[in-house]
Amino acid sequence: MYITVAGLLGALLGSFLNVVISRGPRAWGLVETNGKPSGLALPPSQCEACGHRLGPLDLIPVLSFIALRGRCRYCSAPIGARHVIVELLGAAIVATAVAIHGISMAAALLALVWLILLALSVIDWETGFLPDALTLPLLGGGIVASAMGYAQPLFFSLAGAAIGGGSLWLIGFLYKRFRGREGMGGGDVKLLGAAGAWLGPLALPYIALIASFGGLLYVGLMTWQSGMQTTLSTELRFGPFLAGATAIAMILPMPA
Ligand SMILES: [Zn+2]
């Protein structure tokens, strides 16, 4: 029962996450607004294609998408599968967090971290940016949660943030030095710093391993699918893999 309610709450949070994912990059000046809404709260939800204001019947998570067959009620423009996927993942995230930790602060924090990681993944996937407006609060939140007795001992949290961010920064610095081009975005540095703040330095090798394995698997699949046409210099957006690995590490038993 609790878990069902948690899932419904998660679907609503996923619906809000879709607004953040669509409008955030415009609100934070990362992409052109092109006249589209950029406020996170205002104007109220509207179709991204025709601008028609959406009513309550258009905004029921998952169900509206199915009932409208994935199209805007007013202009028939496709809504995009991302919306329903994020709503379903939102539901899965909150339900899983409550299933693991019950109704508790630990569940709320786990769900919050997972939801932010989900938003970061999709935004990076769609725009190539990991916004400071999400990575920095995630990093700071890990340190604050640790200081309050959640997550890690405070020293571990600080060391994790410094080592996570610092190691990736160094790799990016050396890559740029020797290959003469940007290999790692600053957003990745802050994201691994945030992972370290929540999970401590000992989790970082596992996160790096899982993320790299995921990235390699993805590149392999893409190369295979395109008939070996993909060159390795094709820019790989690493954020979703880093965020995914961090999400997994949040519930992996870590050696201490
Ligand atoms: Zn429309």
pLDDT of 180 strictly over 90: no
Please state which of the ranges 1-5, 171-175, 192-196, 210-214 shows the lowest mean pLDDT.
171-175
**Distance in angstroms (rounded) separating the CA atoms of residues 50 and 190:** 36
Q: How far is CA 153 from the centre of its chain?
A: 25
Give the Å distance between the CA of 193 and the centre of ligand 1: 40
Ligand 1 center to residue 51 CA distance, Å?
6
| Long-range CB contact pairs, 233-239, < 8 A, 24+ | 235/128, 237/124, 237/125, 237/128, 238/184, 238/185, 238/188, 238/211, 239/120, 239/121, 239/123, 239/124, 239/125, 239/130, 239/185, 239/187, 239/188, 239/191
Q: How many whole angstroms from 55 Cα to the centroid of ligand 1?
A: 12
pTM of the model: 0.92
Q: Residue 17: what pLDDT?
A: 95
Half-sphere exposure of 152 (CA within 13 A, CB side): 25
pLDDT number for residue 122: 97
Q: Which positions ≥6 away from 37 have C-beta within 8 Å? A: 23, 26, 43, 46
Tokens, residue 253? 């038993």
Using an 8 Å Cβ cutoff, are 118 and 83 in contact? Answer: no
> What is the per-residue pLDDT across 149-163, written as a single tens digit (0 to 9) for each?
998 999 999 999 999
Report the separation in Å between the CA atom of 20 and the middle of ligand 1, taken as the mean of its atom positions. 19
Instruction: Tell me the CA–centroid distance for residue 23 and ligand 1, in Å.
Output: 16
Q: How far is the CA of 71 from the centre of ligand 1 (A)?
A: 8
Mean pLDDT, residues 180-191 taken together: 81
Residue 229 pLDDT greater than 70, yes or no: no
Q: How far, in Å, from the CA of 247 to the mean position of ligand 1?
A: 34
Query: What are the residues whose beta carbons fall under 8 Å from the beta carbon of 184, sequence distance 6 or more?
Result: 168, 171, 172, 175, 238
* Residues in Cβ contact with 238 at an 8 Å cutoff, skipping those fewer than 6 apart: 184, 185, 188, 211, 215
Beta bridge partners of 71: 78
Structure tokens given for 240: 């979703």
83 phi/psi in degrees, rounded to 5: -60, -50
Reported as a single tens digit per residue, the pLDDT across 89-129 is 999 999 999 999 999 999 999 999 999 999 999 999 999 99
Contact yes or no for 119/15 (Cβ under 8 A): no
For 57-95, the three-class secondary structure string (H helix, E strand, C coil) is: HHCCCCHHHHHCCCECCCCCCECCHHHHHHHHHHHHHHH
